[in-house]
């Protein structure tokens, strides 16, 4: 019909997980372009401090990682083993992994190493886990494997989940726990101005750890001494399950949220999980005051919310709707169990919302529809709603809690008062290389 595929929010309400998979388009046609930067598999893997990565692939697969290494500053820790058709057919590329690793160790002395394979080796069922074990014994340092395999995007173990499982697999078990709390799932530590740190200090759990804050491998190992894991983004769910099974660290899902009531409920769950009193009422009051202030300053604006925003698109849509903003469009590539509560609320209270997905082939027709809003949150929403001001709400920073609400509203106001071109924002973020 010359229009982009979309669903009403009601189409996603009250359906089972199986029905959601039937209703939502598959990721099978999802294109992973060589121009995609940001937090790809390589950059996430290199969150492990003092580590290097050997990327084993045909030349094309490694191109964007190589350029991203130059642009984002991790090229000295990234090595490539380019393989050809003869190597693959004969299996010689697996022997070359050992040779390339030996060359790396002759050149530098890393304290940890990741080997990253691609879709080709997944199709060949190459055993990189065994190679990692062999190299660990040979060189006397921890070695793990990970996979950049977009063909698994639609499965139960997509690459964005398995790479986080791999980086936390470096954390060893500890004989004693020290009461610390690990933050899992986000690529950046929680913002320093988040009240989370203060409420944890008041609860006498002063050790808050995050992998990106570890300056060396020894500090990463201390995460094994923590008593609790707090999962703040769904991408870390395989990691916390693995850490529970291997390290005995229990976990609680306490996601990044922007609704006042949702944040309050999350803190209540954390009280039970941490077995302590969390006093956050004064921070809630500050956030409520900020909502009233910014609501008056922003006025009656319409907002489109994208998949790339540092949020659940559905939870964020609910929060902004409660605050009095109009949210006509949501762009979402998947629906998680966590989202269903917010989808049901939106279906009942904001039934006119339309849900688009970036992965459907008909999205090439979207720009012809010329749908307009005042503000887009997330780079993809900014692209599709080309006339809107864009607040990226990127994952390079991690707002959390009541202060996260204030941070969101501040970014929305800045986007409207001091707008930047979408292309300029994209290149400045490292999303395009």
Q: Which domains, and CATH codes, for the chain?
A: 6-27+279-429 (3.40.50.1980), 41-152 (3.40.50.1980), 181-253 (3.40.50.1980)
Q: Give the residue, 32 or 328, on which the prediction is more confident.
A: 328
DSSP state of 172: P
Say what the pLDDT of residue 433 is. 61
Tell me the mean pLDDT in the region 97-111: 94
Torsions phi, psi for 95 (to 5 deg)? -65, -35
Contact 297, 413 (CB under 8 A): yes
pLDDT of residue 33: 58
The answer on pLDDT for 326 being more than 70 is yes
With a CB cutoff of 8 Å and minimum separation 6, the contacts of 431 are 36, 37, 38, 379
346 and 372 in contact (C-beta within 8 Å)?
Answer: no
Instruction: Say if strands 228-231 and 302-305 run parallel, antiparallel, or are unpaired.
Output: unpaired
pLDDT tens for each residue of 68-79? 788 778 889 999
String of DSSP letters for 78-118: EEEEE--HHHHHHTHHHHHHHHHHHHHHHH---SEEEEEEE
Q: From the centroid of its chain, how far is CA 160?
A: 8
18 pLDDT higher than 60: no
Report the chain's mean pLDDT, rounded to a whole number. 90
pLDDT tens profile 110-164: 999 999 999 888 888 899 999 999 999 999 999 999 998 877 777 788 889 999 9
243 in Cβ contact with 249 (< 8 Å)? yes
Per-residue pLDDT at 19 exceeds 70: no
Residue 29 is predicted with a pLDDT of 52
């Amino acid at each position: 019909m010359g229009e982009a595929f979309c669903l009403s929010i009601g189409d996603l309400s009250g359906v089972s997980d199986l029905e959601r998979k039937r209703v939502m388009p598959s990721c099978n046609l999802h294109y992973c372009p060589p121009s995609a930067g940001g937090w790809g598999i390589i950059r996430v893997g290199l969150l492990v401090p003092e580590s290097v990565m050997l990327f084993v692939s045909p030349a094309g697969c490694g191109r964007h990682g190589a350029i991203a290494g130059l642009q984002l500053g991790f090229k000295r820790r990234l090595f490539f083993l380019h393989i050809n058709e003869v190597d693959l057919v004969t299996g010689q590329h697996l022997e070359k992994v050992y040779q390339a690793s030996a060359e790396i160790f002759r050149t530098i002395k890393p304290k940890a190493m990741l080997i990253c394979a691609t879709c080709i080796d997944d199709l060949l069922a190459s055993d990189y886990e065994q190679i990692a074990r062999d190299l660990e014994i040979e060189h006397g340092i921890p070695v793990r494997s990970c996979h950049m395999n977009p063909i698994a995007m639609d499965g139960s173990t997509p690459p964005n989940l398995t790479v986080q499982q791999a980086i936390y697999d470096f954390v060893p078990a500890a004989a004693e726990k020290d009461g610390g709390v690990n933050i899992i799932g986000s690529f950046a530590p929680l913002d320093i101005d988040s009240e989370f740190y203060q409420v944890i200090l008041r609860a006498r759990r002063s050790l808050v750890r995050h992998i990106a804050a570890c300056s060396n491998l020894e500090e990463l190992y201390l995460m094994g001494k923590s008593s609790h894991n707090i999962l703040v983004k769904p991408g870390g769910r395989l990691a916390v399950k693995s850490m529970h099974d291997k390290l005995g660290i229990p976990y609680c899902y306490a996601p990044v949220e922007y609704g006042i009531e949702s944040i309050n409920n999350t803190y209540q769950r954390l009280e039970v999980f941490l077995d302590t009193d969390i006093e956050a009422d004064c921070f809630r009051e500050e956030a409520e005051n900020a909502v009233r202030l910014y609501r008056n300053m922003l006025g009656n604006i319409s907002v489109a919310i994208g998949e790339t925003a540092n949020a659940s698109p559905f939870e964020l849509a609910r929060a902004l709707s409660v605050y009095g903003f109009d949210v006509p469009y949501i762009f979402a590539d998947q629906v998680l169990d966590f989202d269903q509560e917010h989808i049901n609320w939106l279906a009942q209270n904001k039934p006119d919302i339309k849900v688009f997905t970036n992965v459907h082939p008909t999205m090439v027709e979207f720009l012809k529809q010329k749908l307009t809003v005042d503000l887009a949150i997330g780079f993809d929403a900014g692209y599709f709603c080309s006339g809107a001001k864009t607040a990226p709400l990127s994952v390079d920073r991690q707002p959390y809690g009541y202060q996260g609400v204030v941070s969101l509203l501040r970014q929305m106001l800045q986007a409207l008062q001091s707008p930047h071109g979408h292309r300029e924002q994209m290149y400045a973020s490292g999303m395009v290389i």
